[in-house]
RNA sequence: UCCUCAGUAGCUCAGUUGGUUAGAGCGUCGGACUGUUAAUCCGCAGGUCGUAGGUUCGAGUCCUACCUGGGGAGCCA
């Protein structure tokens, strides 16, 4: 007999038919005569109740069916006599695949703290919350590919090991095959990488953007979606040392096109989650964040506010608020400022544009005022910056001048500069932190709980 | 990295101005119950109080350092 997934079983139940389900026991209760097993197989947040006539089964088998055990149940699908569910399975045979010692199995029937479950990341998939989160995470990954594919974007695989440290996005993890206890040094005292695997210093990528631009300036519209690495000692609920990023890069897009795409893209993903992950979303709305669905619908129904950095500074100055950090043109906006704009002043997502060039990356297109660049940050309530992007500087001379001004290693960027030398084109792009999107969509509050195996300072277990 | 709070039973927590044998709920285990819903009821077991020093007649409680975790900040996505 062929196994049926619980999701399929529940969506079109054939009452009276014999079915075979396989899954993990959530709870078991009952007495000498009748036993109820709540079974979940991960296909859906919903469980199927298995009813067992205790007299017709081996006592020891029933004893071994404890929370966490894995079983296969063959039985008849019937209308439930009880209250909590419509259908249930009247067990004919039960095969025990794997026992789960009740004394040592970490997960109880009752709830656990997020911190405890994080220490048990190998088992937390078996909880309702993490089942929901990771099903939604999958759906979002799928929707990202669908959105871009439908729009004619090409998925470009940019390298994970990189030989350049030019993006300036953060501290990098070194990649080497050399003996760490016996690193060769050259006369100046610095490490000699000439005999290393790549013959030069290499790192894990902090962004695929620069390579993405190379693709866009030939294929038109591309996107990357892959892991990125930052060796920053960031200890916050919004940062990971290893996280996934989506970076579209589009030829012939100006900053407005870029903003339009970013807004449409994020709204598409939110709508996809609401339309396709309904039960998981409702569970999270009930158990994790009562305002989740309402907030997501609000974001869908309202346009993002678009203002310039200069306008934001004016608003912040005029607010009369006492800030921990000073507001002033030329200073970067702090979390408290961004939060005020998003959560108090506008009460909706905000896109800030045209930042002072001094606080932004070298590749951003310089405005004619000589002071600002065509940057955009999309700010979300509760999360802060979810997207950072810009129109890129396509003029060779200006880009080179900026590289020199910022004392970046010009010779390492020869391939990047070549795109401006040969058939340059206006283009734009942005980066979306995948886990930050998942945070927003699920209502979870710690980024470590929306990636299966979080990598953070002092933590690489599992 | 900085600020701040916390670390006591498997889990979640209580523990009075420092004072005898450190408590509860849940879970586990044993028992009861013929339809349960994170079942219910009865009972047993379970703790070198994060680690290392120190103060004191006496430390879970006070002090110092370190470790781990939460929240906030910085860096950013």
- A413 pLDDT band, cuts 50/70/90, is very high
Nucleotide at minimal C1' distance from the A30 CA: B36
| pLDDT given at position A343 | 92
A356: left (phi over 0), alpha (psi -120 to 50) or beta: beta
% pLDDT > 90, chain A: 87
- Span A378-389, average pLDDT: 92
pLDDT of residue A169: 66
Contact, A11 CB vs strand B, < 7 Å:
no
- Which residues 309-348 on A are within 7 A of strand B at the CB atom? 325, 332, 334-336, 339
The strand B neighbours among A residues 388-417, by Cβ under 7 Å, are 388
Mean of per-residue pLDDT scores for chain A: 94
Note the CA–C1' distance, A115 to B61, in angstroms.
26
**Phi and psi angles of residue A77, each rounded to the nearest 5 degrees, phi first:** -80, 120
Provide the pLDDT for residue A180.
87
Q: Report pLDDT digits (tens) over A205-238.
A: 999 999 999 999 999 999 999 999 999 999 999 9
Residue A82 Cβ under 7 A from any strand B atom: yes
**pLDDT tens column, A145-164:** 999 999 999 999 999 999 87
Å: A451 CA to B48 C1': 37
Listed as ranges, the nucleotides of chain B within 7 A of a protein C-beta are 1-2, 10-13, 26-29, 32-40, 67-77
Q: How far is the CA of A455 from the C1' of B25 (A)?
A: 34
A247 touches strand B (CB under 7 A): no
Any strand B atom closer than 7 Å to A236 CB: yes
Q: Predicted confidence band at A109 (pLDDT cuts at 50, 70, 90)?
A: confident
Record: fold of A6-105? OB fold (Dihydrolipoamide Acetyltransferase, E2P) (2.40.50)
* Residue A460 contacts strand B, CB under 7 A: no
For residue A462, say whether its CB is under 7 Å from any atom of strand B.
no
Give the residue whose CA sits closest to B33 at C1': A31
In chain A, what are the domain boundaries?
A: 6-105, 126-170+206-449
pLDDT at A170: 76
How far is the C-alpha of A462 from the C-alpha of A242, rounded, in Å? 14
Count of alpha carbons within 13 angstroms of residue A442, beta-carbon side = 28
Q: Rounded to an integer, what distance in angstroms lies between the CA atom of residue A49 and that of residue A373?
A: 60
Question: Is the predicted ipTM greater than 0.90, yes or no?
Answer: yes
Beta-strand relationship, A384-391 and A427-433: antiparallel
> Where does the pLDDT of residue A377 fall: very low under 50, low under 70, confident under 90, or very high at 90 and above?
very high
Rg for chain A (alpha carbons), in Å? 27
Three-state DSSP class for residue A386: strand
- Amino acid A28 CA to nucleotide B8 C1' distance, rounded Å: 31
Through-space separation of residue A101 CA and nucleotide B42 C1' in angstroms: 25
A360: Cβ under 7 Å from strand B? no
Alpha-carbon torsion A435, A441, A442, A445, what sign?
positive
Cβ of residue A459 lies below 7 Å from strand B: yes
Q: Are A23 and A74 in contact (CB under 8 A)?
A: no
Torsions phi, psi for A10 (to 5 deg):
-75, -30
Q: Which residue is nearest to nucleotide B35 (CA to C1')?
A: A82
User: First vs last Cα of chain A: how many Å apart?
Assistant: 36
Cβ A121 to strand B below 7 Å? no
Compute the average pLDDT of residues A381-387: 90
Of A126, A75, A69, whose CA–CA distance to A96 is shortest?
A69
pLDDT at position A181, please?
Answer: 86
Angstrom distance, A122 CA to B9 C1': 24
Per-residue pLDDT at A366: 96
Task: State whether the beta carbon of A81 lies below 7 angstroms from any atom of strand B.
Answer: yes
Strands (E), A99-233: 154-155, 161-162, 174-175, 202-204, 221-229
Q: Is the pLDDT of residue A400 over 80?
A: yes
Q: What are phi and psi of A117, to 5 degrees?
A: -65, -30
Nearest nucleotide relative to A228: CA against C1'? B77
Q: Return the pLDDT at A168.
A: 64
Q: Cβ of residue A31 near strand B, that is under 7 Å?
A: yes
- Check whether residue A365 has its CB closer than 7 Å to nucleic acid strand B: no
- Separation CA A177–CA A42 (nearest Å): 40
Closest nucleotide C1' to the C-alpha of A117: B11
Average pLDDT of A81-85?
89
pLDDT at A23: 97
Query: For B39, which residue's CA is nearest its C1'?
Result: A29
Distance CA A109, CA A131 (A): 15
- At the top level of CATH, the class of A126-170+206-449 is alpha beta
Model confidence at A166, in pLDDT bands (50, 70, 90)?
low
Q: Please, are residues A316 and A337 in contact by the beta-carbon 8 Å criterion?
A: yes
Stretch A78-85: mean pLDDT:
91
Task: Say yes or no: Cβ of A262 under 7 A from any atom of strand B.
Answer: no
């Amino acid at each position: 007999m062929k196994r049926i997934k619980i999701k399929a079983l529940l969506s079109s139940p054939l009452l009276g038919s014999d079915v075979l389900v396989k899954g993990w026991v959530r709870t078991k209760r009952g007495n000498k005569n009748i036993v109820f097993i709540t079974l979940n197989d991960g296909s859906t947040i919903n469980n199927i109740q298995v009813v067992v006539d205790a007299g017709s089964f081996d006592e020891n088998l029933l004893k071994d069916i404890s929370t966490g055990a894995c079983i296969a149940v063959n039985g008849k699908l019937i209308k439930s006599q009880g209250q909590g569910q419509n259908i249930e399975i009247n067990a004919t045979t039960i095969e025990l695949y794997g026992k789960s010692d009740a004394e040592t199995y970490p997960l109880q029937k009752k709830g656990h703290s997020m911190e405890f479950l994080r220490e048990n990341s190998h088992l937390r998939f078996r909880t309702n919350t993490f089942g929901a989160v990771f099903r939604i995470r999958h759906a979002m990954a799928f929707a990202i590919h669908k959105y871009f594919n439908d729009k004619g974007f090409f998925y470009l695989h940019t390298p994970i090991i990189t030989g350049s440290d030019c993006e300036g996005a953060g501290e990098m993890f070194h990649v080497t095959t050399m003996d760490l206890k016996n690193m060769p040094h050259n006369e100046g005292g610095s490490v000699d990488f000439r005999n290393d695997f790549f013959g030069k210093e290499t790192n894990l990528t902090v962004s695929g953007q620069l390579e993405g631009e190379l693709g866009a300036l030939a294929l038109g519209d591309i996107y990357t979606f892959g892991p990125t690495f930052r060796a920053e000692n960031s200890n916050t609920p919004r940062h990971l040392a290893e996280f996934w990023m989506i970076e579209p890069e589009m030829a012939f897009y100006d900053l407005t096109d870029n903003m339009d795409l970013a807004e449409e893209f994020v709204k598409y993903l939110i709508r996809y989650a609401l339309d396709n992950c309904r039960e998981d979303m409702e569970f999270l709305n009930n158990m994790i964040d009562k305002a989740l669905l309402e907030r997501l619908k609000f974001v869908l129904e309202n346009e993002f506010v678009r203002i310039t950095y200069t306008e934001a500074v004016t608003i912040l100055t005029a607010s009369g608020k006492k800030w921990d950090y000073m507001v002033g043109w030329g200073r970067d906006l702090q979390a408290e400022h961004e939060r005020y704009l998003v959560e108090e002043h506008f009460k909706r997502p905000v896109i800030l544009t045209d930042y002072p060039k001094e606080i932004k990356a070298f590749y951003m297109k310089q405005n004619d005022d000589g002071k600002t660049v065509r940057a955009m940050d999309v700010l979300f309530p509760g999360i802060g910056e979810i997207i950072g992007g810009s129109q890129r500087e396509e003029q060779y001379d200006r880009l080179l001048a900026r590289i020199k001004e910022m004392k970046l290693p010009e010779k390492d960027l020869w391939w990047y500069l070549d795109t401006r030398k040969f058939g340059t084109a206006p283009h734009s792009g942005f980066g979306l932190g995948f886990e930050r999107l998942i945070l927003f969509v699920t209502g979870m509050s710690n980024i470590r709980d929306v990636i299966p195996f979080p990598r953070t300072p002092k933590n690489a277990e599992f």
